A and B are shown apart, each in its own frame.
Chain A
Amino acid sequence: MSPTSVSPADPTPEPARNSSLNTDTEALDPFAMLALADNQQRSIEQQMGSFVPALALIWAVAWSVGFTMLWLIDGLAPKFSLPLPAAIITFASLILVAAGLSTWMSIRANRGIKSSAESAFTGIIYGAMWAAGSIAIIVFGYGLEANGMSAELATIYYPTAFVLFAGIMYVMAGAIWSESFSAVTGGLLMVLAVVGPFCGYPNHYLWFGLAGGGTFALLALVSFIRLRRVRALAEGGGRHG
């Protein structure tokens, strides 16, 4: 294929195409070429990771509103008490919507990317672990209740176990896919989980809502600032490393 040959699907007008090819085949000075390579990699990173701040913000809202709803069951009693079904339905809905949006955004960001069979296997096992681990926590809880765990203690066990499990899974994801952002998030969730029970019922819900929601909000802000910096470097150039 000659340098000027084009696919029939190429909609670019001939002059623009030739001009673009001429520019594309030229080389710049070493500094500019190195900057071009760095900026291109930053641009890819920015484009593929642009969903992260929104994702963290969605979880910030789900945690802060969801757990606050649970806290409102008894947290302001006797002045105010949110009916149990309303609190649980709101909490579950928020978590399910956030999980659904997370899945959709991750799939969309990774569209067109194909991994090897080994990597796909890792992803399938990891995804299945979320479901298997969640079911295990519930069955384990039923087992404890069957052996005398009180209803009040159960309200501490379930959310704490889920937050701890989520933290472990985030750390695992960070380790498997070398994602420091995920590993840090997981570590913070694990700290929140072990502190939670010491707040006692119902204030542990408020702790998970404020500290957990705040953690995700902070991560949203940090990832937003980081992406903006990457975008500025990718668009405006910058010193190579």
Chain B
Amino acid sequence: MADLDPVIHAQARLRITAALATLDQDQSIAFPRLQELLDMTPGNLSTHLKKLEDADYIVQTKEFLGRKPVTYLRLSTRGRRAYEDYREQLRALLDREP
């Protein structure tokens, strides 16, 4: 398992990446909505999003709804490719198992 992407190869970040991959490429999701769908605490989600952002796997944009700031998130092209590669690697590992 040494070759598996360490950014995605953690339960929380895999869940976040998988959830974002269900959206279309041109869609982004508000932080509170993603938190609700994943049933994660804001702090936990923020921590893992930071790691994904540091790897350029997600794109965060801030907008204002009235006076309220809202963060929108989406997978970057690099992140989507990394997720697909990660899944392929897992499948390849499973195929090799007796």
Contact = CB atoms under 8 A, between A and B. Distances in A.
Are A and B co-members of a single complex? yes
Interface of A: 1, 3-7, 9-12, 17, 20-21, 23-28, 30-31, 33-34, 36-38, 40-41, 43-45, 47-48, 111-116, 118-119, 240
Contacts of A115: 24, 26-27
Contacts, number: 122
17 contacts: A6-B43, A6-B44, A9-B42, A23-B11, A25-B11, A27-B10, A34-B87, A36-B15, A36-B18, A40-B18, A40-B19, A41-B18, A41-B22, A44-B19, A44-B22, A116-B27, A119-B24
A7 B11 contact: no
B14 A40 contact: yes
A114 B18 CA distance: 18
Contact of B33 (A11, A25, A111, A118): A111
Given A30-B1, A41-B19, A25 B30 contact: no
A38 B14 CA distance: 10
A117 to B, nearest CB: 9
A6 B32 contact: no
Nearest to A34: B90
Contacts of A30: 1, 90, 93-94
Contact of A21 (B17, B33, B47): B47
A36 B36 CA distance: 18
The binding surface of chain B is classed by DSSP as helix
Given A27-B9, A118-B26, A119-B24, A9 B43 contact: yes
Contacts of A47: 37
Contacts of A37: 14-15, 17-18, 87, 90
B29 interface: yes
B3 to A, nearest CB: 11
B7 to A, nearest CB: 11
Nearest to A111: B33
Nearest to B89: A30
